[in-house]
C-alpha cells in the first residue's frame, strides 16, 4: 500500500522535493493548528513531514504528491527558517532569539532554558500544537544560547 493511501506515518520519511534533504514525521494536529484558515481545506488526507532545512521555505511535505506547505501558509513564523527578528524559539512560552541575546548582552547569561525546562516538567507546554516541528524547542534554545555567547565573546553582540 502506498503512503498516499494511509493517514499515519509508515516507512521511511521522504526527502524534501525542494532541497533533497531528509524530513521528519509531524502529526496532523500540529499542521492543522498552525495553518491559515483558508489553507486548511486543501490539506490532503495523508501523512506530512517537517522539512527542518533552514534555507528552505518548505515547511511540510506530504507523503506523496506535490501539496507542499510553505512558511507563508502558516499563522506563525518558523524560527528554524528565519534569519531576521523576530525569530521564535519557544512557541509555548513566547521566547524569541532576541530575548536570549538581550540576556547574554546585559547579564552574560540567561535563565530562559532553565525556565522553559521547569515549565515543560510541570506539564505546561503544548509543543505538539504550537511548534511547527511538532517537537520540543529546548534543542533550538540551547543552540541560540551557544551562538549568543559566541557572538558576545567576539564582541558582536
pLDDT tens profile 56-109? 999 999 998 788 999 999 999 999 999 999 999 999 999 999 999 999 999 999
- Per-residue pLDDT at 66: 81
Looking at the predicted structure, is the pLDDT value of residue 2 above 80? Answer: no
Looking at the predicted structure, is the pLDDT value of residue 36 above 60? Answer: yes
Looking at the predicted structure, is the pLDDT value of residue 1 above 70? Answer: no
pLDDT tens profile 102-119? 999 999 999 999 999 999
Query: Which residue blocks in the chain are alpha helix, DSSP H?
Result: 28-34, 37-40, 97-107, 112-121, 127-130, 138-153
- Which domains can be identified in the chain, with CATH numbers? 3-73 (2.20.25.270), 79-153 (1.10.10)
| pLDDT band at residue 12 under the 50/70/90 scheme | confident
What would the grid cell of residue 113 be?
532554558
Amino acid at each position: 500500500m502506498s503512503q498516499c493511501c494511509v493517514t499515519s506515518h509508515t516507512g521511511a520519511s521522504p526527502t524534501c522535493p525542494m532541497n533533497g534533504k531528509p524530513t521528519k514525521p509531524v502529526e496532523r494536529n500540529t499542521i492543522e493548528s498552525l495553518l491559515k484558515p483558508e489553507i486548511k481545506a486543501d490539506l490532503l488526507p495523508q501523512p506530512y513531514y517537517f522539512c527542518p532545512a533552514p534555507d528552505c521555505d518548505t515547511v511540510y511535505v506530504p507523503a506523496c504528491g506535490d501539496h507542499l506547505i510553505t512558511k507563508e501558509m502558516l499563522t506563525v513564523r518558523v524560527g528554524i527558517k528565519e534569519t531576521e527578528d523576530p525569530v521564535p524559539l519557544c512557541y509555548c512560552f513566547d521566547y524569541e532569539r532576541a530575548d536570549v541575546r538581550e540576556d547574554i548582552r546585559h547579564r552574560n547569561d540567561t535563565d530562559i532554558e532553565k525556565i522553559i525546562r521547569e515549565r515543560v516538567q510541570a506539564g505546561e507546554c503544548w509543543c505538539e500544537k504550537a511548534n511547527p516541528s511538532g517537537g520540543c524547542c529546548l534543542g533550538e534554545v540551547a543552540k541560540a544560547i551557544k551562538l549568543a555567547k559566541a557572538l558576545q565573546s567576539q564582541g558582536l553582540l
